[in-house]
Amino acid sequence: MNKVFTLVWGGHLISLLGSSAASFALSLLVFQGTGQVSFLALVLGIHYFTSIYLAPVMGAVADYFPRRSLILICNLALGLIALVLAVVVINSIDQRIFLILILIAASGAVNACLTVTLAASVRQIRKEADLTRVNGLTSLIENLPVFAGPLLGAIVYTVASPSVIFLVDGITFFASAALVLLVVWEDKVEGSRSFRPFAGALSGIKWILARRDFRFLQINFAVNNFLVGLGTSVLTAYVVTSSSEADAQWNLALVSVSSAAGLLLGSGLVIIGANIINRRWLIGGGILVGSLLGRVLLALSISPFLWAVCSAVRNIGVQCTNAPLTAIWQERTPTSEQGSVFGARRLLGQGPFPLAVISGGLLADTIFTHDSSFFGLAKDMFPRFSEAGGPLALMIFCIALLEVFVGVTLLVSRSVKKLSLAPGE
């Protein structure tokens, strides 16, 4: 492993640890400070909105400007945003929600630029013809902080204050920027291209829409990501409010760490079973198992330990779905068009997610409440929904059933069956 890669990605690992702790603290702070799922959903939705919708544009930026300079600037900008957040959350946040939303939106946009720039810089930093091992390592770096981050956030949240967590987050970004300053690599911008950040995104969208099988994939995963978004903020509120065992922050940390463990375990299972299990079964089965065992079972329980198991199973399913799906796109997309197509894929597939996060919060505060007639009917049929967190449990349960439908659709689909075969078969 060369020095440049070690310092750049080592710095990124440090900043991801701070970001993971800060994200944990922000979710807990916003929900406990406002008492409303809709506010939490709005904060999360704004972050996802800017990071997803601006990703194709930021990809064009990463191709136009020197990547080392962009990585440095993005780290400095994210560090400044974290420090401002540290000041904002010192006192009550009730009157500062609008400012927090602006800071979160800016953070999502800069983070999108940093993410795509780091991914694009790997080929410059490492010259191997086969980058599979290197990309596996970068994936590991991106997932490891999710273990320690929530635990760090829970500890600091308990013994100090949320503002300290954001201060630490800012320091980690400045440390990452300092490490980038220590290294130099060949980072020339080729030619005198005109700066057209939207052209690549448009061509990628056209490529996908012109192919029936890929259109089918995008429609189904857009629906699935919408359903996942509906439950994102609801799950946080459910974990925080629906158990009398331990403190809210420790229950949330347990679920977050277990989710991260599921991602790593899922990666290992895919490596072992990639040549044994047909990719169609991994793609559809991952969603099916993740929704049944990872969400339906979670909604029917008030045990933090079982929540942890369900969260791990959920993300094992996510990895079983995503890894072979990404391989299909890599195999069947021309190399010269992969940047624009992958950016368009993220936009089309994940585009509904931010809107769903916000919608999920509104549904939780209006439809899935103790006073609604819909909830009254459900709790008469299922006694579990009469217990702690019943309305939120019902919402998670309903979303999971819709996810089951998506998983079954992918399992029986001819398009997925055809795409799952290696090219030429």
DSSP 357-421: HHHHHHHHHHTSSTT-HHHHHHHHH-GGGGSTTHHHHHHHHHHHHHHHHHHHHHHH-HHHHHHHS
pLDDT at 266: 80
CATH superfamily of 1-181: MFS general substrate transporter like domains (1.20.1250.20)
Per DSSP, 336 falls in state G
The average pLDDT across 226-231 equals 91
- Location of structure tokens 């309903």: 398
Question: Cβ(363)–Cβ(38) under 8 Å?
Answer: no
The CATH number for 198-425, chosen from 1.25.40.390, 1.10.443.10, 3.50.50.60, 1.20.1250.20, is 1.20.1250.20
Q: For the chain, give the percent of residues with pLDDT over 70.
A: 84
Find out whether 199 and 389 touch, Cβ atoms under 8 Å.
no
Q: Please give the pLDDT value at position 129.
A: 43
pLDDT tens string 49-88 = 888 888 777 777 777 778 888 899 999 999 999 999 998 8
pLDDT band at 137 (very low <50, low <70, confident <90, very high): low
d(CA 39, CA 97): 8
pLDDT band at 140 (very low <50, low <70, confident <90, very high): low
Would you say the CATH fold of 198-425 matches that of 1-181?
yes
Confidence at residue 199, expressed as pLDDT on a 0 to 100 scale: 65
Residue 193 has pLDDT above 60, yes or no: no
Round to whole Å and give the CA distance between 359 and 37.
Answer: 10
pLDDT given at position 194: 59
What integer pLDDT is reported at residue 131 of this predicted model?
Answer: 44
- Residue 167 predicted with pLDDT over 60: yes
Mean pLDDT of the chain: 80
Average pLDDT over residues 112-121: 79
* Burial class of residue 174, CB neighbours in 10 A (0-12, 13-18, 19+): middle
Mean pLDDT of 200-225: 86
For the stretch 336-370, pLDDT in tens is: 565 567 767 878 888 888 888 888 888 888 888 77
- Asked if 399 and 295 touch (Cβ cutoff 8 Å), the reply is yes
> Between 213 and 4, whose confidence is greater?
213
CA 180/CA 183 separation, integer angstroms: 6
Question: Which residue is listed with tokens 């368009």?
Answer: 344
Confidence band for 404, pLDDT divided at 50, 70 and 90: very high
Domain ranges across the chain: 1-181, 198-425
How far is the C-alpha of 323 from the C-alpha of 270, rounded, in Å? 7
> How does pLDDT run across 361-385, given as a tens digit for each residue?
888 888 887 777 767 777 777 777 7
Q: What is the pLDDT of residue 38?
A: 75
